[in-house]
Amino acid sequence: MSEREVRYAHGLVIGKFYPLHAGHSNLITSALRACDRVTVEVLGSSVETIPLAARAAWVREEHPTARVVSAVDDTPVDFESDASWEAHTALIASLAAGPVDAVFTSDPYGAELAGRLGAEWVQVDPGRVLNPVSGTAVRADPWGHWHELAPSARAHLAARIVVVGAESTGTTTLSAALAEALGTDWVPEYGREYSETREGGLAAPWRSDEFDLVVDRQLALEQTALRRVPVPVLVCDTDVLATTVWHERYVGHEAARLVARAAAHRPALYVLTGDEIPFVQDGMRDGEHLRHDMHGRFREVLAGTGVPWIEVHGEVEDRVARALPAIQSALREHLAFAAPLEGRPAAEQQARVAAARAAVAAGGSRPSRATVAR
C-alpha cells in the first residue's frame, strides 16, 4: 500500500489499549492510510486498572486525526457464544456512528466482527511478526517492553520515587545515586533554582503564590521526564508534598490548596533523608537551626499521607542499599495490573464484574494497580 491509498470510507479499530503499544499504533496507522476516516473504539471492562479516559487520551494524542470513543464493555468474552457476539457487536456498532466499510485487526476475531458489521476485514501484521508485542506481554513485563509504549502511556504508568528531607540532608545526592542504581533519570528541585533567581533571594519574605509557581514548574519538569524515562520509574528530588512543608517554613502556615494538589499527586514511595550528616552551608541555606525540627515535620507529614515511605541514614551507599528493597517492592505494586476478562469461564467473568461494580457502589473505586495481581 502506498503512503496514502484510500480504499475505504470508514474504518474501524477496536481494542482495550491496556496499555497502548507499538502494535496498536501500527494497526491504527494502517487504518488511517486506507480510509477517509477512522473510528478507534477503546473498550474496557470494570475490572481493569487503567481508566478508560486515560487510554482514550493516549490514542488521541498519538493519532490526532482518528475519531476516538470509549465505553465500558462488561459482556463476557466468549467467541463461541452468539449472544456474546451480539451484545459486543451492538455496542461497537452504536459507537461507530454510521456504517463501517472495513474492520482492522491483527487477530482472527476480526473476520467474524467484520461480517456482523457488514464490512470487509483487513488483517494487519498477522501473528504480530512486525510488532511482536501484546498488551498481555506488556502487563506481565513492563520493564522488558517499556520501549514499545507510547510516550503518553509511559508518562501515566511510570512510578515516581520521591526523595525529601530537611536542608543539607543529601536529597540531591541520593536522588542522583538512586537514579543511577535504577538505570533511570531524575528530576532536580526547581525550588532551589527559583530561590537563586527570585528578587531578594532567600532574604526577601516569601509570598504564598510563589509556591504555586514552584509546584507548577516542578510538575512540568516531572511530566517531561516521565515521557522519556528509559524504564518505568522516575526519581524526583522533592515534589508537591515537600513544597507544602516549605510553605509552612517560609510563610508560616499550611496552604490548603497545595495540600490538595499533593493528595492528588501521590508517588509510589517517599524516601526521607536522615539529618545525622553534617550541615553544609552552600550559600543558599538558612535553616541549620531548624533542621532537626524540619526533619521531624517531614516525618509527621509523611506518616499522614498513606503513601509508603522509608527513612534512610548513613553514607550514600548505605542509603541506596536501604532504599532499593523498598523501591522494588513499591514498583511491583505500582506495576501490577488486573487481568482482563477474556480467557476465563463466562461465569467467572461475570463474578469479577459484579465484584468490581459492588466495590464502586459501596463507595470504593475501580481496582487499583496496588491491590491486584497481573
Q: Which residue has the higher pLDDT, 2 or 306?
A: 306
Residue 363: is its pLDDT beyond 90?
Answer: no
CA-angle at 94, arms to 64 and 360, nearest 5°: 85
Exposed, middle or buried: residue 61 (CB in 10 Å: 0-12, 13-18, 19+)?
middle
Exposed, middle or buried: residue 335 (CB in 10 Å: 0-12, 13-18, 19+)?
buried
Instruction: Please tell me the predicted confidence (pLDDT) of residue 288.
Output: 67
Buried b (16+ CB within 10 A) or exposed e, 65-92: ebebbbeebbbbbbeeeeebbeebeebb
Name the percent of the chain lying above pLDDT 90: 78
Given the C-alpha cell 456504517, which residue does it identify? 99
Residue 267: is its pLDDT beyond 90?
Answer: yes
Average pLDDT for the chain? 92
Question: What count of other Cβ atoms lies within 10 Å of the Cβ of residue 345?
Answer: 10
Across the range 215-240, mean pLDDT stands at: 97
The pLDDT tens digits for 171-213 are 999 999 999 999 999 999 999 899 888 888 778 899 999 999 9
Residue 373: is its pLDDT beyond 70?
Answer: no
Banded model confidence at residue 343, pLDDT cuts 50, 70, 90: confident
Q: List 173's β-bridge partners, or say none.
A: none
Banded model confidence at residue 341, pLDDT cuts 50, 70, 90: confident
Given the C-alpha cell 474504518, which residue does it identify? 11
Across the range 10-30, mean pLDDT stands at: 97
Instruction: Note whether 68 and 80 are within 8 A (CB).
Output: no
The closest alpha carbon to 23, from 134, 173, 157, belongs to: 134
Q: Which residue has the higher pLDDT, 287 or 278?
A: 278
Model's pTM, two decimal places?
0.89
Instruction: Note whether 235 and 184 are within 8 A (CB).
Output: yes
Cis check: omega of the bond before 19, within 30 degrees of 0:
yes
Instruction: Please tell me the predicted confidence (pLDDT) of residue 282.
Output: 64
Task: Kindly give the pairing relationship between strand 67-72 and strand 269-273.
Answer: unpaired
How far apart are the C-alpha atoms of 181 and 324, rounded to whole Å?
Answer: 8
